[in-house]
Structure 1
Amino acid sequence: MSKFIIQVSGPAYGTSASVSALRFTKAALNGGHQVVCVFFYQDGVYNTSEFALPASDEFDVIQQWKLLAEQYQIPLVNCVSAALRRGIISEQEAREHALHHWNVSNAFTMGGLGEFVTGMESADRTICF
C-alpha cells in the first residue's frame, strides 16, 4: 500500500479543493493506504479556523477534517507563514505576539515547509488540492 501526504491549498469554502482532498483522503484510508499528514498551505489554512460557521444545512468540511484526524490519528499541519499572513492565529502564536485571541482549532498544529518536505520524503506520493 502507498503512503500519501496531502496538500490542501484551497479554502474550506468557495472552491471544491478542500472537499475533494477530504474525499480523496477518506478513500485512500478506506483502501488501506496510509496518510502521513495533511498539510494546509496558501488559502488552505482557512480550513483551520474555529471562526468559520457554516449554516446548519451545509457540509462542515472543517469539522470533517477534525473528525478524520481524530479517527485515524493523522496530523493536520498548518503552514505557519501562510496562516499568519492570512490572520489564522494559533494559541501559541497569539501568546508570542501578545494577542488576546486566536482562531486555530487545537486539532491543527502550526508547522513550516520543512515539515512538509520531511513528510514528502517519507511518503510515496504527494497529492495536491
Structure 2
Amino acid sequence: MNYTILVTGAAYGTQNASTAFLFCQSLVKTKHKLYSVFFYCDGVLNANRMTTPATDEFNLVEAWQKLNKKYKVKLYVCNSAALRRGVLEDEKKSNLNSKKGNLSLFFQLSGLLELAHSIKICDRIIQF
C-alpha cells in the first residue's frame, strides 16, 4: 500500500509530529511505500532549521531530514501555512525581503495541489 502522511502538529509541544515520525519510520521498514509527508498548519514548524532542541532531546527536524535522505521520502511544506508561521526559503528562491530563510534542507515548499495529488495516487492518507 502507498501512504501519504499529513502532519499538523509542531515539532515540539505536541505528540503529533513525533508520533507521525515513528509511524513513518515503521512504514519504510515494511513492504508498504511511504510516498510523501505533507506538513500543514503548525506542522510546518517541523521544517524550521532554527529549531534547536536540548542536547538530551530527540532532534525531530534532523530525523525528518534523515528519513528523506535514506528512503527518498518527499517532505512537502504548505507554502501559505509556512509564510504565516515565519518559515521561509532563502532570498534567491523567494521574492520577500528576507536574505536568509530558515527552511531546512530536504523540505520543499508546495501548495495544497501537491497534497491533493498525493491523496489521489496513494491508497491511504493518515493525519497526525
Distance 1:75 1:92 in 2: 23
Please give the TM-score of this superposition, normalised by the length of structure 2.
Answer: 0.96
Distance 2:14 2:79 in 1: 22
Distance 1:36 1:121 in 2: 11
Distance 2:77 2:125 in 1: 16
Q: What whole-Å deviation, never above 9, does each CA across 1:45-81 have from its counterpart, x for those lacking one? A: 0000110000110011111000011100011000000
Q: What's the counterpart of residue 117 of structure 1?
A: 116
Distance 1:47 1:6 in 2: 13
Q: What's the counterpart of residue 106 of structure 1?
A: 105
Q: What's the counterpart of residue 65 of structure 1?
A: 64
Q: What whole-Å deviation, never above 9, does each CA across 1:67-114 have from its counterpart, x for those lacking one? A: 011100011000000000111101258631121221001210000000
Any gaps of 5 or more consecutive residues in structure 1? none
- After superposing the two structures, state which structure 1 stretch, 71-80 or 100-109, moved more: 100-109
Q: Structure 1 segments of 4 or more deviating over 6 A? A: none
Count of residue correspondences: 128
Q: What's the counterpart of residue 56 of structure 1?
A: 55
Query: Quick check: 1:94–1:100 contact (8 Å CA) kept in 2?
Result: no
Q: Identity, % of aligned pairs? A: 35
Please tell me the root mean square deviation across aligned C-alpha atoms, in Å.
1.2
Q: What's the counterpart of residue 38 of structure 1?
A: 37
Please give the TM-score of this superposition, normalised by the length of structure 1.
Answer: 0.95
Distance 1:49 1:36 in 2: 22
Match of 2:94, SS state, is: helix
Query: Quick check: 1:12–1:61 contact (8 Å CA) kept in 2?
Result: yes
